[in-house]
Amino acid sequence: MTAFDAVVVGSGPGGATAADVLTEAGWSVCILEKGRNHLLDPDDPGRRGSAFSNDELKFRFRHFLGPDPLLEPRTFRRQSSSSAREHVGEVNNLPSTVGGGGTHADGKLPRFRPEDFDLLGHLGPVEDAAVADWPVDYDELEPYYADAERRIGVAGDAGANPHAAPRSGPYPMPPGPAMYASTLTVAAAERLGYHPYPAPTGANSVPYDGRPACNNCGYCSFYGCPIHAKGDPVSMLQRALGTGRAVLRSEAFVFRVDVAGGRATGVSWIDGDGAVHRETAGHVVLAAGAMETPRLLLLSGFDHPLIGRHVMFHFQTFVMGGFADRLHPHIGRSVTHVHDDHIEPDPAAIATATGADLAWIRGGMVEHCGPAHPIEEAKTYPWGPAHKDLMRQSLARERLWGFCMQGEDLPQPQNRVDLDPAVRDVHGFPVARTTYSPHRHERVASAHHATRLAEILVEAGAQWTVTATSPDPEAAFGPSMPSPVPFSKHVMGTARMGHDPASSVVDPWGRVHRVPNVVVADSSVFVTASGYGPTLTLVALALRAARAMVG
C-alpha cells in the first residue's frame, strides 16, 4: 500500500499540470518542490501569496525566487575536451520556488506549428545534428493545446497570425493593450511585408478564473506578478490543492527515485532542516525542469545512455535600435507583439543556407522588446557626474528598443547534461554539468535574420542598431551577457521521447522505457526545439501524459 497514487517532483508548469489532471481524476498526489513557497497557502489555496513586488534588487539580483547559485551551483563547459568545467555558478537557472519558472516568466505561450513535430520529414537531415521527428503530431496535440490555453488562461487573437497552426477555437481571452514601442515596430514590420501579431500571453487581459486583469505594471519578465494576473501555474496548483487530494511540500529536495524490480516505489527527499524522508507512491512524475530531471535520473542510477543528451536552448539573437524619442519600453507586459516570418526558410534563407553548405536554416519567433529596468541600466553606466547625465538621458531604458529572436537550436548528442565529477550542492549531491556548443546552423541563421531585423528597426526610426547573441561562444565567461553560457531560459531535450527504447529515453506518453511508472512531464522530452517558447507545448504534453496515466 503506497501513501499516494502519485508523487510529483517539481511544481512548475509541468508538475502543476500533472497534479491538476491527476487530482481531477480522483488520484491522491504529493507535490514535492525544492524551493520556497511564496505563491499560495497550501492549506487554503484560495489565499494567494503577497510577497511579489516590482522590486528589481529582490528579483534580479538577490535570488528571491532562488536558486542561490552559491548553494545550488551548476557547471558549464563548451566541449567535453575543454576541461572538467569552465564555469561554476548560474547556468540558465530558472526559479526554484513553488510555481517554478512560470511564476516569473512573462508567459508568451504560442503553439508549435505542425512541421515542428516533423522536422526531419519536412526539411531533411542536417550534417552533425540529430534532427528527428516527434512520436506525436500537431493534430493529436491540438485538443491538449486548447485545454492548456483554457487551464492557464491565455490571451490572444486567433486570426492574427497567418503562419499559425490550425485551431479548434478562439483564445479564452482577447489580447491586452500594446506597448507603445511595439506599435512602431509592428507598423514598420508590416511595411516591409512581415506579419506581426499580439503575442499569445498567459496573463489575464480581462478578469478570468477568479484572478484580475493585468495592469501592465512593467515588471513582468523575471518578476512574480503582485496581483496574480499570470495564470501559469498558479491556476493549476490552486485547482489541484482545492480538490483536497493534493499535498504540497516546499523546501523538499528529492535526491532519488526509489526503484525495485523495474518499478518506482516512491522518492527519497531532504527537508529544510536536512532530515531525510521517503514518500511511497504508485507513480512518480518528474517535472523538475529539463536540467534537473536528467540530474535526478542520473542521481537515482538510471543508466540509459541518452539521459541528458541533446540538450537544447534557443539561440537568441538580439537586435536593438537607438531611438531619439523616449519610447517607455519598460512599461507593459515585457513583450506584447511577436512575428514568425523567420521560421520557415524562404528563398533568401535557402540561398544563405546553400552558401554556408547547410541543408537549410530556420530562425525563430521574434519578440518585440526593450532591455532594461533602472538598476540594470545603472550598472551599465560609468560612475560620477556622467552617471547622472546618462541616467537622465536614459538610453538603455527609454530609448532602446528592438527584437529578440528565439532561434531553433539543433539537437546534438555531444551537447549534454551530466553529473559534475567534483562540484556538489549544499546537500552534498553532484550538480548538473552542461556541455554545450551551438551548431553552425544556429550562427548562420542568426546572422542571416539579424540583417532583416535591423532593417525593420531602421524603418521604425532607429538611428543606429547593434546585434548580440546568446550564447556567444567566443565571449569571456562572466555573470551576465555576452557569455558562452546560453541565457534563453528555454531548456529542452534531455530525455528525448520516441517509440524506440534504443533511440529515446521515454515513450510517446513520457513514460521511462525501462521503468514505465516514472513519467517525465517537462520539456526534457522534446525531440527538437522549434523557434517557439516551450511552455505551452510542455503543458500540453504533460496534460496528455497525465490523462494516459489515469486511463
Ligand X SMILES: Cc1cc2nc3c(=O)[nH]c(=O)nc-3n(C[C@H](O)[C@H](O)[C@H](O)COP(=O)(O)OP(=O)(O)OC[C@H]3O[C@@H](n4cnc5c(N)ncnc54)[C@H](O)[C@@H]3O)c2cc1C
* Contacts with ligand SF4, residue ranges (CB under 6 A): 203, 214-217, 219-220, 223, 225, 227, 229-230, 333
Least CB distance from residue 14 to ligand SF4, whole Å? 21
Least CB distance from residue 193 to ligand X, whole Å? 26
- Cβ pair 192, 456 in contact under 8 A: yes
Least CB distance from residue 480 to ligand SF4, whole Å? 22
465 binds, among ligand X, ligand SF4, none (CB under 5 to 8 A by kind): none
Specify the stretch interacting with ligand X by CB under 6 A; choose among 6-14, 83-91, 128-136, 156-164: 6-14
User: At 525, which amino acid appears?
Assistant: V
In DSSP notation, 41-107 reads ETTEEEEE-----S-HIIIIIS-TTS--TTTS-EEEES-TTT-S-SEEE-SSPPP-BTTGGGGTS--
Query: Considering beta carbons, is residue 138 or 360 the nearer one to ligand X?
Result: 138
Applying CB under 6 A, does 126 fall inside the site for ligand X?
no
- Cβ pair 154, 536 in contact under 8 A: yes
C-alpha cell at 227: 496581483
What's the rounded Cα separation, in Å, for the pair 344 and 409? 14
Q: Which of residues 474-533 bind ligand X (CB under 6 A)?
A: 489-490, 522-523, 533
Q: Which of residues 207-246 bind ligand X (CB under 6 A)?
A: 221-222
Query: Considering beta carbons, is residue 71 or 386 the nearer one to ligand X?
Result: 71
Applying CB under 6 A, does 35 fall inside the site for ligand X?
yes
490 binds, among ligand SF4, ligand X, none (CB under 5 to 8 A by kind): ligand X
Pick the closest to residue 411 from 436, 443, 431 (CA basis).
436
Pick the closest to residue 431 from 76, 36, 64 (CA basis).
76
Query: Considering beta carbons, is residue 265 or 414 the nearer one to ligand X?
Result: 265
Encoded one letter per residue, x for contact with ligand X by CB under 6 A and - for no contact, window 246-265 reads: ------xxx-----------
Least CB distance from residue 290 to ligand X, whole Å? 7
Specify the stretch interacting with ligand X by CB under 6 A; choose among 11-19, 409-417, 456-464, 510-518: 11-19
Applying CB under 6 A, does 9 fall inside the site for ligand X?
yes
111 burial via Cβ count (<10 Å: 0-12, 13-18, 19+): buried
Pick the closest to residue 496 from 476, 480, 485, 512 (CA basis).
512
In DSSP notation, 246-295 reads EEEE-S-EEEEEEEETTEEEEEEEE-TTS-EEEEEEEEEEE-S-TTHHHH
Least CB distance from residue 10 to ligand X, whole Å? 3
Least CB distance from residue 53 to ligand SF4, whole Å? 10
13 binds, among ligand X, ligand SF4, none (CB under 5 to 8 A by kind): ligand X
Specify the stretch interacting with ligand X by CB under 6 A; choose among 106-114, 144-152, 465-473, 493-501: 106-114
What's the rounded Cα separation, in Å, for the pair 1 and 193? 63
Least CB distance from residue 388 to ligand SF4, whole Å? 29
Burial letters for 303-315: b for 16+ Cβ neighbours within 10 Å, e otherwise? Answer: ebebbbbbbbbbb
Least CB distance from residue 50 to ligand SF4, whole Å? 14
Least CB distance from residue 351 to ligand X, whole Å? 31
Query: Considering beta carbons, is residue 54 or 467 the nearer one to ligand SF4?
Result: 54
In which region does residue 218 sit, left (phi positive, over 0), alpha (psi from -120 to 50) or beta (all else)?
A: left
Query: Considering beta carbons, is residue 202 or 498 the nearer one to ligand X?
Result: 202
- Cβ pair 77, 472 in contact under 8 A: no
Q: Which ranges constitute the DSSP H helices of 394-439?
A: 395-398
Question: Where does this chain bind ligand X (CB under 6 A)?
Answer: 9-15, 32-35, 94, 96-97, 100-102, 104-109, 221-222, 252-254, 287-289, 292, 296, 489-490, 522-523, 533-535, 538
